[in-house]
Structures are given as C-alpha cells and as structure tokens.
Amino acid sequence: MIVMKNHNTYKIIFFLLCQFCFAQVDVVYNDLVWSDEFDTNGAVDANNWFHQTQLPAGGSWFNGEQQHYTNQQTNSFVDSGNLNIVAKKESYTNQSVTKQYTSARLNSKFAFKYGRIDVRAKVPIETGTWPAIWMLGKNVNEDGGYFDATYGTSNWPACGEIDIMEHGITRSHPVNYIQSAMHTPSSYGSTSNIGGMIANSNIDSNYHIYSMNWSPNQISFLLDNVVYYTYNPSVKDANTWPFDKEQYLLLNIAMGGVAGTIASNFTATSMVIDYVRVYQNTTPDTKAPSSFTASVGAITGNSVELAMNATDNSGTVTYTVNYGSETISTFSASGIQKSIVIYGLSPNTNYTFNVSATDASGNVALNNPIVLPAKTTEDTTTKCSGTATQASQNSFSTGYNYSFETIGTDVKITFELLDNDKTGVVAYLWEQSPFSESQMTNVSGKIFTKTISGQTVGSTINYAVKFAYANGLSVTKYFSYVVGSSCSLGIETSAELKQYYYPNPVENSLHLKFLDGQNRIVLMDLLGRKILDEVVKSSHILNMGNFKSGVYLLKVTNSHGVQNLKIIKK
C-alpha cells in the first residue's frame, strides 16, 4: 500500500510551527524547494538520490567502520511511504574486498546554500551502529561521491561538514542522545563545535524531526522544532566558516569503528525516514531595513559600546561595524536593540565607527553607514585579573575568573569557568588580531592555562577564551593586557573579607562597609554597561530601588586591591 501525505495540511502545520521557530532561529525559511516523500514503493528514486559505494583508497571507510555500502535494494528501498536504510550482517565482496556487514550511503542529487532541512525519521540504537543525517560541501574532493567528478576541488574538512544528527558514536552518552557537530579547518575530527540533547521518547520506535537551519549568520540544530545547539563563530573566515557554498545531504548507517563493538547477535537494523524536506525563501526580498539607528554607549579606557536598532520584513538585521582595519558583524531580531562592546582599544584615543545595517538578502539601509565618533578614556589601571560574566559569543550562567602574569618575556594566561551547569569542559585561547585559536592546558577542575612566549614588554595583547562543553560553547570577552604589568590580582584576602555588603538579594538599600576611607565603586549590568562610577567613604548606602530586577556586578577598588561582587536585585 502506498501512503500519500497531505502536503496542504503540512504547510499549515509548518506555518504554525514556524511562529514558534521564529523566536529560536535567526531566519525563517518558508518555501518548499526540494523534497522526497517516499510515496512510491520499490527502489529509491534515482532522480533524487545517488548510491555512494566506492571504497576510499585502502579499502576501508573512515573511522574504522566495517561495512560495505551497496546499491542493493535489500539495503535501501521504499515501502509504505518510508525510505528504509538497512544495515545487516552478511558477507559481501565488492571492489575485491570482502566485508561482513552491508549498508547504504545515499547522496542527494540536490545541493543548496542557506535554508532549512527537516528529516522525519526513526533511528536505530543498537550497539555498534552509527546512523547519520549529515551534509558535505558540494566541492568535496571525495572519489565516488556524486558531485566529486565535476565539483570536487576541496579536501575535507576545507569543504565543511554539517552533522545534523548522529547517534551512538559518543558512548558516554545515554541511549536516545542525539548530537550535531560542525567540522571545519579550525576544528575537526574530535571537534569542539558540538551539541546534543536527549529525545523525549525512544528514537528507534518513534518518529522525530531532525532539522538544521542555515543562514549567513549562523547554523542552528533543532529536535522536534526546538533549537538545542547553534554554531556562530565570532570570526567567520575559511577556517571557521566554509559554509558560504552549496552543500548536499547524506543518509547512512555505518557499523563499528568509533561507534564501538558490534553486538555478536546483531543481524539487521533500519533507519526509517518518512520524508526529507528543504525550505528556502524563493520570493526575492527587495525591502531594505528601515528605522536604522546607532549610538555610542558606555566608554572605558579600552572599550566602546555601540547600540543599534533597525526593522526588516525578514525578521533579522545584520549589523556591520568597521573601524580602522577591523570589521565586526553581529545580528539581532528586527526591532530589537543590539548592543556590542568593542574591546582591545587604546586609552585616550579617538575612534570612528562606521555602522551599517543589512538583511539576509543583502538589502542595505538607506542611511548606511552611520558614522559614530568616540574617544576612549584615560586608563589608569591595568586589568591583570578578576571575575567577569561578559561574553562575546553565547553566555555564561555564573561567569569566569581570569589572570595575566608576565614572566620575563612570557605571559601566562589562566582562566577558570565558574558555571556549574557545564560539563565536559575544554578551553581554547583566542587571539584577537590576527585571529588564532590554540588549546589550553587543564590545570584542575575547570581551570585552564596557556603561556605565550616572546612578548614585548610594554605592548598590549588582546585575548579571549572559548569554553567548549557538552551541548555548546561560550566565549569570554576580549581582555587587553599590557605585557610587563603587575597589579592586584583581585582575589579576596583575609583583609578584604572584612569588607562586606548586605542584604543580598537586595530590594532597595544595599549597605556597603569598607576598610578604606576612599573607595571607588563601579556598578555594571551583565552586558558590561556601566551604571554608576563614584568614590564613596567606608560606610555607604547604595540605592538600588530604581533598578530593574536582575544580576549586577559591583567592582570595589581601594588600597587593599580589587574586589568583584555579584549583586542580585529583587
């Protein structure tokens, strides 16, 4: 029996779902441009799919897998409205190589740039199986792939790989944990760019929708229309973002290798796929962003805050800031103010920021660019260490400690992640300009360090840290440090512990008690925006009554050093 799907009903459902998706993804794609509903029983539709069967050089698939991929109908076929990809135990000889397992690896004959993929499927969970829904750049140089002969000019991972759904290759995770990963020249193989979640019902006996939403700004992964991981590197270049070219879809089940030992009683299993659907926005968008405004916010000795806002019918606006030879891009939902803080600036220096607004179709605001002059303040202190919460990518639930220490011409950089909700943490040191990434050494717990050598005393360096963890990553703000500087580490001493504040959480009056008669206090919100900066006496009452509820940071500086306090406003 052939099951026909009601596409009109689905369009209504998709429209309703996308009202929910809109708040989660940066661009909503509405127009169905390619699909396979698997409505015709028998062989896989050769107009849509290509069986990739050619073994790599050496006779084995990558990652120690043990299967032959075949074009046999026993390994891939359509029945009752579903595509069945079947991995089975059987001796099979092909290309003069005999293996004990067979499966199928399908390449879509359709490739695209930017859009959304939805795949509704049941996924096998047997030990040693590796089901995958994933994508490769159309330009991948992989002998035997559908596009290779015509377009294969780039080796992996320069072509970029987007893993929409994988199961079984991280054996520390429980059954029904599905994961997504990004492989780029900057991070591949055991990549740190990875996220995942546990499905709310068994993935082998229940259909779930595995989705990927790809825009010029970011790539988001969804399970049943809920985003669980977004890849959005702050620097997008050939190393981090080879995703400005067409990609195609792959469906397969691998056996063994990184998926572990195959059960001795294994006979066969299937990935059952109800449909594959690709969406883009096919109606040309010619409407430019409007009501574009930009202004200067808080200014420090090494940073300037810029606030931007514009509206656009696409739902998302991209803001590009140019200053000197530097370019920074960010984006925000239409009509929502976006603030960014540009770090690594020189104190007491005039800067000119050219801010532009565009949409995903490249339409530009009529008043582009808005020119914003700003002058950084005198910087009488050098940040050697402290505690912060600001992020240049994603966010922190608690924050992090940081320290910079000059040893001869070397600088030792140490960061500690304070978030208790992050597991499996690794850290990478980011140099701001020219951008580079290098792994840090774990000292203990969530403390990581790296020493950079051959620095010039008196020069200013700018670094941030990327913390990668299970289900995502967060990147700190960039810190400026003058090589050779030594300053208070901002760690509480026994004397500082005698300085106190109460009550916390606070509703109206926050009482402060200090050891010095002169104390500088700076209150900031979690975005690093300065709310007040004043000098107070040893006993002071800070009126918090007019502030919004939330978390604030209070920095206290006196002869005993620097103390950073987290204040919770009811």
Top-confidence residue, 515 or 103: 103
Instruction: Determine how β-strand 426-431 pairs with β-strand 460-469.
Output: antiparallel
Mean pLDDT of 310-328: 89
Question: Which pLDDT value is given to residue 3?
Answer: 34
Question: Which pLDDT value is given to residue 54?
Answer: 97
On the question of pLDDT at 8 being above 50, the answer is no
- 3-state SS string over 246-309? CEEEEEEEEEEHHHCCCCCCCCEEEEEEEEEEEEECCCCCCCCCEEEEEEEEEECCCCEEEEEE
Tokens read off for 492 = 């509480």
Question: Which pLDDT value is given to residue 508?
Answer: 83
Could you tell me where in the chain the CATH 2.60.120.200 domains are found?
Answer: 7-280
Question: Which pLDDT value is given to residue 487?
Answer: 53
Question: Which pLDDT value is given to residue 504?
Answer: 72
Q: Does domain 7-280 have CATH number 2.40.40.20?
A: no
With a pLDDT cut of 70, the percent of the chain lying above it is 91
Model confidence at 491, in pLDDT bands (50, 70, 90)?
very low
Residue 396 near residue 419 (C-beta atoms within 8 A): yes
Mean pLDDT of 438-445: 90
- Homologous superfamily of 385-482 in CATH? Immunoglobulins (2.60.40.10)
On the question of pLDDT at 382 being above 70, the answer is no
On the question of pLDDT at 489 being above 60, the answer is no
Per the annotation, the verdict on 431 as an active-site residue is no
CA dist 287 and 291 (Å) reads 12
- Of 64-78, 214-228, 358-372, 537-551, least confident by mean pLDDT is 537-551
Model confidence at 23, in pLDDT bands (50, 70, 90)?
very low
Question: Which pLDDT value is given to residue 559?
Answer: 66
Model confidence at 179, in pLDDT bands (50, 70, 90)?
very high
Model confidence at 527, in pLDDT bands (50, 70, 90)?
low
CA dist 339 and 336 (Å) reads 10
Instruction: Determine how β-strand 561-569 pairs with β-strand 550-558.
Output: antiparallel
On the question of pLDDT at 20 being above 50, the answer is no
Question: Which pLDDT value is given to residue 2?
Answer: 33
Question: Which pLDDT value is given to residue 19?
Answer: 34
Question: Which pLDDT value is given to residue 24?
Answer: 62
Question: Which pLDDT value is given to residue 298?
Answer: 87
- In the three-class reduction of DSSP (H, G, I as helix; E, B as strand; rest coil), residue 33 is classed as strand
- Of 19-23, 278-282, 475-479, least confident by mean pLDDT is 19-23
Mean pLDDT of 24-37: 90
On the question of pLDDT at 514 being above 60, the answer is yes
Mean pLDDT of 509-530: 77
CA dist 458 and 341 (Å) reads 24
Question: Which pLDDT value is given to residue 488?
Answer: 36
Residue 342 near residue 354 (C-beta atoms within 8 A): no
Architecture field, domain 496-569: Sandwich (2.60)
Question: Which pLDDT value is given to residue 341?
Answer: 83
CA dist 547 and 515 (Å) reads 27
Mean pLDDT of 470-477: 84
- Of 147-161, 259-273, 329-343, 546-560, least confident by mean pLDDT is 546-560
Could you tell me where in the chain the CATH 2.60.40.10 domains are found?
Answer: 290-375, 385-482
Per the annotation, the verdict on 166 as an active-site residue is yes
Top-confidence residue, 35 or 408: 35
Question: Which pLDDT value is given to residue 541?
Answer: 86
**Can you give the length of the chain in residues?**
570
Strand-pairing partners, residue 475, are 393, 466
Could you tell me where in the chain the CATH 2.60.40.3080 domains are found?
Answer: 496-569
Please tell me which residue in 161, 305, 416, 496 is annotated as part of the active site.
Answer: 161
With a pLDDT cut of 90, the percent of the chain lying above it is 54
First to last CA, the chain: 62
Question: Which pLDDT value is given to residue 22?
Answer: 37
Query: What is the biggest distance separating any 2 CA atoms in the chain, rounded to whole angstroms?
Result: 86
Q: What is the pLDDT of residues 117-140, one digit of tens each?
A: 999 999 999 999 999 999 999 999
Model confidence at 560, in pLDDT bands (50, 70, 90)?
low
φ, ψ of residue 76 in degrees (nearest 5): -155, 125
Question: Which pLDDT value is given to residue 32?
Answer: 97
Question: Which pLDDT value is given to residue 406?
Answer: 84
Question: Which pLDDT value is given to residue 89?
Answer: 98
Q: Does domain 290-375 have CATH number 2.60.40.10?
A: yes
Residues ≥6 apart with Cβ < 8 Å to 54: 95, 143, 144
Q: What is the pTM of this model?
A: 0.62
Mean pLDDT of 197-215: 95
Please tell me which residue in 37, 65, 166, 305 is annotated as part of the active site.
Answer: 166
